[in-house]
Structure 1
Amino acid sequence: MSAQVDPNGPKLTVIPTNPVPEGARVGYFTTSDKVRLRYALWPKGRGAPKGTICLVQGRTEYIEKYFETIEDFRQRGFAVATFDWRGQGGSDRLIGNRMLGYVDRFDDYWTDLRSFHADILLPDCPLPFYLVGHSMGGLASLYAASRDRMMFDRVFLSTPMVGLYGMEDSLARWALFAEAASFVGLGRLPMARRGDKRPDEAMYPDNPLTSDMLRYTRMVETVRANDALYLGSPTFRWLAAAMRAMVDAGKDSFPGQIKIPLLMLAAARDRIVSTPAIESLGLRLRTGRHMVIPGARHELFMENDAIRGQVLAAFDAFITEQSL
């Protein structure tokens, strides 16, 4: 079962526990450097029109993972526009082994977002635009906010990847190591980690993503229904690019470059990104702030109802009520 624009276009994988929100338009667009990315648009649901949420994902993620959250935004009166980053989901994979996460430079994600804004958001979506980013997408969103304060009116981030759990004091050294490995020709090789295994139900009890079993199972079943959505370990080149971007975001000069309203949510029980790094950045922002959600694991939008309720309440206070 799939929703699509035309018989030859990209499809959305839909399973009984993860229905596609009504009104989906799915297609491809090509970035300024000729990478083909899958995207999807939804009109607003009920309520007065409030603009468009541009939703950007974390590493390994895909459009289908956010169907529930997309519907939450639609029912608040927002249109929603989203896409799969290069190298993941239904977008072009960049190296021969499509299971490995790869990007040449972290700036390539800026190219993806800037192309999406110019080619899809501006011509096809109602103003104003609000950027919502998770994890790696949160770091890419921070860089977008630091470079162009006119693209989005506000930025709302879920556990942005500004540091890695347990690596607060060693990130710069690991960045140098990954850069050196890439320089000597190892950039396309995986740096395998225990957490990069293909998810299944047996991994739920100790998973770092969510305390909600049904939402975790839904993620497992979606990838099982379409193996092409799966992405495994990052390559040394991806790690070099991402770690250098995190190190740069931690510099004293970075917070002052962000000049639009911004809210970051951190998870108190995050074992993927560094909550202390988010707090440190949040305290130094001039036009932004941060909140820590008690009891939450990394994927705030996939957490249990009590935690999601807090996340959506923060979203409403920061974006929905400001768009009236």
Structure 2
Amino acid sequence: MTTPREWEFAGVRGAVTARIWPNGGARYVALLSHGYGEHLGRYRYAADALVRHGAVVCGPDHAGHGRSAGERVLVDDVDAWVADLRTVAESARLDHPGLPTVLIGHSMGGLIATRYAQRYGAELAALVLSGPVLGRWDALTELLKLDEMPDVPIDPSTLSRDPEVGRAYVEDPLVWHGPFKRPTVQALQDAIDLANEHGSLGALPTLWAHGEDDRLVPLAGTRAGIEAVRGDDLTERIYPGARHEILNETNRDEVLADITAFIDRALG
């Protein structure tokens, strides 16, 4: 596997750690946006597949996540994460001038990626959304009704049919295992509303991939969001029996083959 290197920059909310999986013969940049409570180090398998496909792969640990600074999982405006993601993209463009950028976002990272595409879509060649938090996420609505956030960790069995994925998640010290924080819950809801209101992604080639048995970010809620933002070029892949982390699922090679085939088409 390709060994990533880390670098640090001054983000909107403090120091942000980014990773890059180099590729001397790259033909495109794959910009990764990870999900809530986790970090980019959990994307090694996907990054390696993308490097073999011809990408230089990069992305940040969002502020308050992984190796980046900031109070854990706290944000008051998702667009602050969008701004940090764009800093990584701009660095990649300077290091690899002329290469097209494909943005890949998972779960909450899919919401961040959608907001990025709505604001800076002209800078992207394609967008891939894996189990994205879009449209309607009933868990947020229920949390906002409570006076206190419950200290209930994510059930690792909902991540993947592969029990090793859940075990590694539980034992990962860089993963947040505590409760949601109210400002973050509100910021996520506000970003969902903004994405819905902004509307179409226009001509940007977009792949939406989702596990049929996703109990963390249910398919029906996301579908409403996809309908709100879909543009002229949407490809949909729903994987029977798959849970939330399709990039870590038992059929992850099938998922990654679909993603790389979509990228080939988008890049022409």
Equivalent of residue 277 in structure 1, options 209, 212, 221 = 221
Shift of 1:194: 2.5
| Structure 1 residues 259 and 148: CA distance shift in structure 2, 3 A | farther
Matched to 2:81, the amino acid is Y
> Alpha carbons of 1:275 and 1:193: their partners in 2 closer, same or farther (altered >3 Å)?
farther
Q: How does 1:291-306 map to 2 (within 5 A)?
A: 291-304=237-250
- What is aligned with 1:134? 106
Q: For the structure 1 residues 68 and 215, does the alpha-carbon distance in structure 2 shift closer, same or farther, using more than 3 Å as the test?
A: same
- On the 8 A contact 1:174/1:243 being kept in 2, the answer is no
Q: Do residues 160 (structure 1) and 104 (structure 2) align?
A: no
In the alignment, what sits opposite 1:39? 18
Q: 8 Å contact 2:205–2:266 — kept in the other structure?
A: no
1:250 aligns with 2:196: yes
Q: Is the 8 A contact 1:265 1:292 kept in 2?
A: yes
Deviation for aligned residue 1:40 = 1.1
- Structure 2: 5+ residue stretches without partners: none
Structure 2 match to 1:11: none
What is the Cα deviation at residue 247 of structure 1? 3.0
For residues 282 and 289 of structure 1, the distance between their equivalents in structure 2, rounded to whole angstroms, comes to 11
Once the two structures are superposed, residues 108-146 of structure 1 have per-residue CA deviations (whole angstroms, 9 ceiling, x without a partner) of 11221122222x222224611110100001001111111
Counterpart position of 2:231: 286
Contact 2:50 2:260 (C-alpha < 8 Å) held by counterparts = no
Q: What is the deviation of 1:263?
A: 1.1
Aligned to 1:55: 32
Give 1:34 shift: 5.5
1:79 correspondence with 2:56 = yes
Tell me by how many angstroms 1:228 deviates. Answer: 4.6
Structure 2 residue aligned with 1:68, among 33, 37, 45?
45
Cα deviations across residues 279-321 of structure 1 (Å, max 9, x unaligned)?
A: 23334512324322111100011111xx213311320221034
Mapped pair 1:124 → 2:101 = no
Output the CA distance in 1 between the equivalents of 2:45 and 2:200: 34
**Structure 1's 121 and 44: CA in aligned 2 closer, same or farther, altered over 3 A?**
same
Given that 2:65 and 2:175 are in contact with CA atoms closer than 8 Å, whether structure 1 keeps it comes out as yes
Identity of matched residues, %: 26
Match of 1:220 in 2: 170
Equivalent residue for 1:7? none
What pairs up with 1:228-243 in 2 under 5 angstroms? 228-243=174-189
* SS in structure 1 at match of 2:200: helix
Equivalent pair of 2:34/2:61 in contact (CA under 8 Å): yes
**Matched positions, count:** 265
Alignment check: 8 A CA contact 1:278 1:290 kept: no
Q: 1:262 aligns with which of 206, 229, 240?
A: 206
CA displacement at 1:164 relative to structure 2: 5.7
Give the match for residue 26 of structure 1.
6
Q: Give, in whole Å, the separation in 1 of the partners of 2:216 and 2:191.
A: 16
Aligned Cα root-mean-square deviation (Å): 2.5
Q: How does 1:85-124 map to 2 (within 5 A)?
A: 85-94=62-71, 98=72, 101-118=73-90, 120-124=91-95
